[in-house]
């Protein structure tokens, strides 16, 4: 039993599902029964739909158990740990026996997430045991010049994973070529879309990997100080980053003459943001670090020329930095063998929405959207029809089912009208109203507009008003054309990426689902039967038993009828609350 390891996933997703209680129960029984297995912590394993997750490693193999509540802890200890008898019905993945959801892991290629779920993120020794800090050691031992490091990043084909997809190595070179005495490196960990779950999970699961990527960037660009800009709503990520920074300083990985590289001094500071979506834009982020209101400024000059405190600054996001140590250790060709001609490597996605296997996945660039949804995501919940996927976060676009063959790479995704973004993938089924989805996302981006640009501030507000009218039954002829005109004007007239991409959900849903907009406006109907104020509830005579459950539940007395007689809904009184539909046990209420 002494060789047995029990590892509990304690990322934010696991903790929310009760993993802390699971961990504490393992510890309680271990102490009470004086058992000698090793109990350890890790971060998000990616299979969020099976949380809490517990991995048991013994002489017979590795077993990942899902949905491990307190009751299952007792059983796992009694049967597996004490008697070496795994429990197949709880196993979701194993290298020793058939298991559920195997394809979720086997379809992935993990570079960014290589350590997440495999190390204790609060242990620098765990990180070092998996080649941690070997990339910067290689740079020091082989005396690689900053130019050589940058060329490796360029040759790898790594593009910035924050949304725009600009080649990371070229960005580093622009900053490195500037001969200013003071330079900075910034890690943008504040992107406020579903993909931010990915950034948060990496920070929680592999903080030293991000630090090492920033250290290498500091060496390559000539910077002496780095900032991690992370929203305060990520307390676990911030706590683990603070622990990692303290450990790195104690080890001498941060400070002066790092790894014996004379004159290379580099340290990292955490800046907690207030969660403004606009601060995902690099110049707004810089303003926030400087203590100013987070508002974008006109470019040029770009940050590589004049950034933080008017000094040359290189900004990349979490996923970009986490790739750097792997590239340096394994070489640019090893990285470039994954992906497509113009989109190399892998991409992390946060799968959510109407999908069976929601969670965090990492796939090689070039895989189709359909394969991500069906092979890794397990398909659509309830066996419903796949309708569309929102790719790129709140300012991304909707890609319809008939384009699900689209490969996941920057150029192909952009051609659909969507954007890669930082990795949010929201899956929709046939019950999703795309008009309401466009309204939902525009409501978010409109509220997050900093207000600096007139067309972004007012144009998105006008668009939101039109969309709201359409979804409440007050749409009129010309609304679609007005939305298109406003959208193009906002895109052309906005200063930063927020305004330039905010209309994407509207433009792509009009492009691919124009008939749904027309149905809302002309027929006052929602084809997805989703928009509440466009629904009509009626009694299905042959199913009605006259039980009066709907009459008793109706808050406005919109239903009439005697007991054991067919009832009738008064349409001019009905407020479309849906209480009658949910109360009826005989499927006698129809909705259209």
CATH of the domain at 171: 3.40.50.11540
The CATH number covering residue 363 comes to 3.10.20.600
* Angstrom distance (rounded) from CA 244 to CA 126: 12
Residues 299-308: tens digit of each pLDDT: 899 999 999 9
Whether pLDDT at 100 is above 80: no
Q: Taking the CA atoms of the chain, what radius of gyration do you get in angstroms? A: 27
* Residue 534, token pair as written in the block: 């466009």
Residues whose CB falls within 8 Å of the CB of residue 423, separated by 6 or more in sequence, listed in order: 161, 194, 195, 198, 319, 347, 348, 349, 350
Final residue before a domain boundary, out of 523, 545, 565: 523
Residue 341 lies in a domain: no
Q: Is the domain of 268 the same as that of 281?
A: yes
Residue 107 lies in a domain: no
Residue 117 lies in a domain: no
Residue 153: pLDDT band with limits 50, 70, 90: very high
Residue 99: pLDDT band with limits 50, 70, 90: confident
Would you state the pLDDT for residue 251? 96
Mean pLDDT of 165-180: 95
Q: Is the domain of 575 the same as that of 508?
A: no
Residue 102: pLDDT band with limits 50, 70, 90: confident
Residue 395: pLDDT band with limits 50, 70, 90: confident
Q: Is the domain of 422 the same as that of 467?
A: no
Would you state the pLDDT for residue 472? 94
Cα four-point dihedral sign 114, 119, 121, 125: negative
Q: Strand 184-189 relative to strand 568-569: parallel, antiparallel, unpaired?
A: unpaired
Final residue before a domain boundary, out of 398, 429, 460: 429
Residue 497 lies in a domain: yes
The CATH number covering residue 568 comes to 3.30.70.20
Q: What percent of the chain has pLDDT over 70?
A: 99
Residue 54 lies in a domain: yes
* Angstrom distance (rounded) from CA 292 to CA 123: 35
CA angle 62, 68, 70 (to 5 degrees): 130
Q: Is the domain of 418 the same as that of 491?
A: no
Q: Is the domain of 357 the same as that of 329?
A: no
Would you state the pLDDT for residue 191? 61
Q: Is the domain of 306 the same as that of 204?
A: yes
Q: Is the domain of 475 the same as that of 327?
A: no
Mean pLDDT of 114-128: 96
Would you state the pLDDT for residue 192? 54
Final residue before a domain boundary, out of 316, 336, 356: 336
Q: Is the domain of 171 the same as that of 307?
A: yes
The CATH number covering residue 465 comes to 1.20.1440.230
Tally: H helices and E strands in the chain = 24, 18
Q: Is the domain of 466 the same as that of 500?
A: yes
Domain count, the chain: 5
Q: Is the domain of 359 the same as that of 313?
A: no
SS3 61: strand
Residue 559 lies in a domain: yes
Q: Is the domain of 139 the same as that of 287?
A: yes
* Angstrom distance (rounded) from CA 100 to CA 280: 38
Q: Which domain holds residue 95?
A: 5-101
Mean pLDDT of 324-334: 98
Residue 115 lies in a domain: no
Residues 189-218: tens digit of each pLDDT: 876 554 467 788 999 999 999 999 999 999
Would you state the pLDDT for residue 278? 86
Q: Give yes or no for a contact between 56 and 63, defined as CB atoms under 8 angstroms apart.
A: yes
Would you state the pLDDT for residue 190? 76
Would you state the pLDDT for residue 194? 46
Would you state the pLDDT for residue 101? 83
Q: Is the domain of 166 the same as that of 266?
A: yes
Residues 411-443: tens digit of each pLDDT: 999 999 998 887 889 999 999 999 999 999 999
- If residue 448 lies in a helix (H) or strand (E), which one and from where to where? helix 434-448
In 3D space, the residue among 541, 340, 342, 510 whose CA is nearest the CA of residue 437 turns out to be: 510
Residue 401 lies in a domain: yes
* Residue 526, token pair as written in the block: 């929602």
Average pLDDT, the chain: 93
């Amino acid at each position: 039993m002494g060789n047995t390891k029990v590892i509990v996933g304690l990322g934010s997703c696991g903790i929310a599902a009760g993993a802390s209680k699971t961990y504490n129960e393992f510890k309680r029984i271990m102490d009470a029964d004086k058992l000698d297995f090793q109990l350890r912590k890790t971060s998000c394993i990616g299979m969020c739909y099976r949380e809490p997750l517990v991995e048991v490693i013994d002489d017979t193999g590795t077993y990942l158990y899902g949905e491990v509540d307190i009751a299952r802890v007792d059983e796992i200890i009694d049967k597996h740990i004490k008697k070496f008898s795994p429990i197949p019905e709880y196993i979701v993945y194993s290298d020793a026996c058939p298991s559920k959801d195997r394809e979720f892991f086997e379809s992935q290629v993990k570079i960014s997430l290589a350590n997440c779920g495999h190390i204790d993120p609060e242990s620098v020794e765990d990180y070092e045991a998996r080649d941690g800090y070997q990339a910067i050691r290689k740079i020091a031992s082989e005396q690689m010049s900053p130019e050589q490091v940058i060329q490796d990043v360029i040759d790898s084909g790594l593009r910035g994973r924050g949304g725009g997809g600009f080649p990371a190595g070229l960005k580093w070179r622009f900053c490195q070529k500037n001969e200013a005495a003071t330079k900075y490196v910034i890690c943008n960990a504040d992107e406020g879309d579903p993909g931010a779950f990915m950034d948060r999970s990496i920070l929680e699961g592999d903080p030293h990997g991000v630090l090492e990527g920033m250290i290498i960037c500091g060496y390559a660009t000539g910077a002496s100080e780095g900032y991690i800009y992370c929203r305060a709503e990520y307390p676990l990520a911030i706590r683990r980053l603070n622990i990692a920074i303290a450990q790195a300083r104690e080890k001498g990985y941060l400070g002066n003459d790092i790894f014996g590289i004379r004159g290379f001094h580099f340290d990292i500071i955490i800046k907690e943001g207030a969660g403004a979506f606009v601060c995902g834009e690099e110049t707004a982020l810089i303003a926030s670090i400087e203590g100013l209101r987070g508002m974008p400024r006109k470019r040029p000059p770009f940050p590589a020329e004049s950034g933080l405190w008017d000094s040359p600054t290189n900004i990349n996001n979490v996923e970009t930095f986490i790739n750097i140590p792997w590239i340096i250790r394994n070489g640019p060709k090893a990285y470039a063998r994954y992906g497509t001609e113009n989109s190399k490597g892998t991409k992390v996605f946060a799968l959510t929405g109407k999908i069976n296997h929601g969670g965090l996945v990492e796939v090689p660039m070039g895989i189709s959207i359909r394969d991500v949804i069906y092979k890794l995501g397990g398909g659509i919940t309830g066996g419903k029809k796949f309708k569309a996927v929102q790719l790129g976060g709140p300012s991304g676009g909707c890609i319809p089912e008939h384009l699900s063959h689209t490969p996941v790479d920057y150029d192909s995704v952009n051609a659909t009208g969507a954007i890669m973004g930082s990795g949010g993938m929201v899956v929709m089924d046939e019950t999703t109203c795309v008009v309401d989805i466009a309204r939902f996302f525009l409501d978010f981006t409109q509220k997050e507009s900093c207000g600096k640009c007139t067309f972004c501030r007012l144009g998105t507000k006008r668009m939101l008003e039109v969309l709201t009218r359409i979804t409440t039954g007050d749409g009129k002829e010309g609304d679609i054309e007005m939305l298109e005109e406003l959208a193009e004007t906002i895109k052309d007239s906005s200063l930063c990426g927020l305004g330039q991409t905010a209309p994407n959900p509207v433009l792509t849903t009009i492009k691919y689902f124009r008939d749904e907009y027309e149905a809302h406006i002309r027929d006052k109907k929602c084809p997805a039967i989703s928009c509440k104020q466009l629904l009509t509830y009626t009694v299905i005579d042959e199913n009605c038993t006259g039980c009066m459950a709907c009459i008793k539940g109706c808050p406005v007395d919109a239903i009439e009828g005697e007991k054991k007689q067919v009832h009738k809904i008064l349409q001019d009184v009905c407020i479309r609350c849906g209480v009658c539909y949910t109360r009826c046990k005989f499927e006698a209420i129809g909705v259209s």
